[in-house]
Amino acid sequence: MSTKRVVDVIERKTAFDGHFRIDRYRLRHELFAGGLGPEVIRELFERGHAAAILPYDPVTDAVVLIEQFRVGAYAYGSDPWLIEIIAGILEPGEAPEQLCHREAQEEAGLTIDRLEPALRFFTSPGGSSEFVHTFVGRTDATSAGGIHGLDHEGEDIRVLVMDFREAIDRLEAGDILFGPAAVTLQWLDRHRARLRAAWS
């Protein structure tokens, strides 16, 4: 376990506050060689923290994924319709587990009856504080499908039911570019036998 190092925040100001927020920090931080480094300015994109769930059917050995338009992928020049796992931003006071149940219903019309914590990670800590909790959730995938999402949020989400091995093959082929989906599918690949035994 690492010891706590010194961060001297000289100033923090909100540079933009709209749908998302950008804060500008002036700070100095402790150096590996000792002492404090020079003052640096860093902008930080604040969008809140998130949770994501990969619904898994241990009986059919299938996962439920979703597909939707993402402006960031469009701006990059990639196909902007990404294959993802269900995810959302945590509301104040909301537990990650609560968000998983809520978003599974909103984005895929799914009921989740068991949750297994998977991985936790920062998405891009060089410029964002966002922290993501991922889970695998037991579901019945036999009736999953259709188009879902909240109209007032402009969501247009297609549900994809996929054999687990096909999902791994598509991940390795570069068809799945959504980071939380990639790491959670790999986590399930390592823990699938245990979950199938426990959940079947």
**pLDDT tens column, 6-62:** 999 999 999 999 989 999 999 999 999 999 999 999 999 999 999 999 999 999 999
Separation CA 43–CA 57 (nearest Å): 42
Q: Are residues 137 and 77 in the same domain?
A: yes
Q: 120 falls in which pLDDT band (50, 70, 90)? A: very high
| Cα dihedral 145, 54, 66, 173 in deg (nearest 10) | -120
Q: Domain holding 66: CATH number?
A: 3.90.79.10
Rg, Å, the chain Cα set: 19
Q: Are residues 112 and 191 in the same domain?
A: yes
Separation CA 88–CA 38 (nearest Å): 37
Q: Are residues 79 and 173 in the same domain?
A: yes
CA 195-54-165 angle, to 5 degrees, is 70
pLDDT value at residue 2: 62
- Structural domain including 33 reads 7-46
What total number of domains does the chain contain?
Answer: 2
pLDDT, tens digit, for every residue of 175-190?
999 999 999 999 999 9
- Per the annotation, the verdict on 107 as an active-site residue is no
Q: Which of 153, 155, 166, 172 is catalytic?
A: 153
Q: Are residues 129 and 177 in the same domain?
A: yes
Q: Are residues 171 and 97 in the same domain?
A: yes
Q: Are residues 90 and 141 in the same domain?
A: yes
Separation CA 150–CA 155 (nearest Å): 5
- C-alpha separations of 41 from 23, 26, 44, 123 in Å: 10, 5, 10, 21
Q: 138 falls in which pLDDT band (50, 70, 90)? A: very high
Q: Are residues 18 and 91 in the same domain?
A: no
Asked if 137 contacts 100 with a C-beta cutoff of 8 angstroms, the reply is: yes
Q: 1 falls in which pLDDT band (50, 70, 90)? A: low
Q: Are residues 38 and 102 in the same domain?
A: no
Asked if 107 contacts 155 with a C-beta cutoff of 8 angstroms, the reply is: yes
On whether residue 1 sits in a domain, the answer given is: no
Q: Are residues 31 and 95 in the same domain?
A: no
Instruction: Enumerate residues 6+ apart whose C-beta is below 8 A from 50.
Output: 87, 88, 89, 90, 99, 123, 130, 131, 132, 133
